[in-house]
A and B are shown apart, each in its own frame.
Chain A
Amino acid sequence: GDSVTQMEGPVTLSEEAFLTINCTYTATGYPSLFWYVQYPGEGLQLLLKATKADDKGSNKGFEATYRKETTSFHLEKGSVQVSDSAVYFCALSDENSNYQLIWGAGTKLIIKP
């Protein structure tokens, strides 16, 4: 079945550093890909999404490009802030599975001032 694998955390960076969180997927169909963020004590928020190959999703300075050839959807940000500290989840959904979200395990990001 479909699955998502993302890099293990925690990832610890200094403020203004460049961020990459890797995410790869396996899917039988043509899934949509997502990054969700979960701040401490809060619910899951959709950060960005991409629905087809070569699409780039972006929001709040974060970007991710849907790479079909490498089955990847890596999350990047050029200059992180302390307020970006959270858990980031990569996920996919597919029409064949009624759009239920399939999730990675999450990557905890810690930004130090």
Chain B
Amino acid sequence: DTGVSQNPRHKITKRGQNVTFRCDPISEHNRLYWYRQTLGQGPEFLTYFQNEAQLEKSRLLSDRFSAERPKGSFSTLEIQRTEQGDSAMYLCASSYLSRADTQYFGPGTRLTVL
């Protein structure tokens, strides 16, 4: 069990560019969640997958955001046409379906949009 990993750890981009983040969950975890955390705030839910199916997206999630989890393993989160307001820490978490209330978090990807 190597834990949840996320890449890159830091990303600096210019406004209008597209960015993609990757999350590798704990192996055999069925569920994968994406959250966003801005400075001084608790995380907020973005979306989650059960195996390869994306089952829920937050109403806060702009159409510029898209996430995938092909084959139910790693997941990617893409942000198109980034805006300065997208600057945040993007967190990934995973859990077993049978113990869905206990999520394990990765270190996060810090995005800075200039």
Residue ranges of A at the interface with B (Cβ–Cβ < 8 Å): 4, 32, 36, 42-46, 49, 51, 89, 91, 93, 95, 98-106
Contact = CB atoms under 8 A, between A and B. Distances in A.
A45 B56 contact: no
B42 A105 contact: yes
A103 B43 CA distance: 6
Contacts of A95: 100-101
A101 B55 contact: no
Contact of B101 (A36, A43, A45, A51): A51
Contacts of B2: none
* Most chain B beta-carbon neighbours within 10 Å: one of A44, A91, A101: A44
A105 B41 CA distance: 5
Given A98-B56, A100-B45, A100-B48, A105 B40 contact: yes
* Size class of the contact patch on chain B: 20 to 34
Interface string B31-50: 10101000011111100100
B25 interface: no
Interface string B68-108: 00000000000000000000000101010000111111111
Contact of B95 (A4, A42, A99, A102): A99
Contact of B104 (A46, A49, A91, A104): A46
Contact of B42 (A42, A91, A99): A91
A35 B105 CA distance: 13
B42 A100 contact: no
A32 B99 CA distance: 11
Contacts of B95: 99
Contact of A49 (B35, B48, B102, B106): B102
Nearest to B99: A99
A57 to B, nearest CB: 11
15 contacts: A43-B91, A43-B105, A46-B103, A51-B101, A89-B42, A89-B43, A95-B101, A98-B48, A99-B103, A100-B45, A100-B48, A100-B56, A101-B33, A101-B43, A106-B41
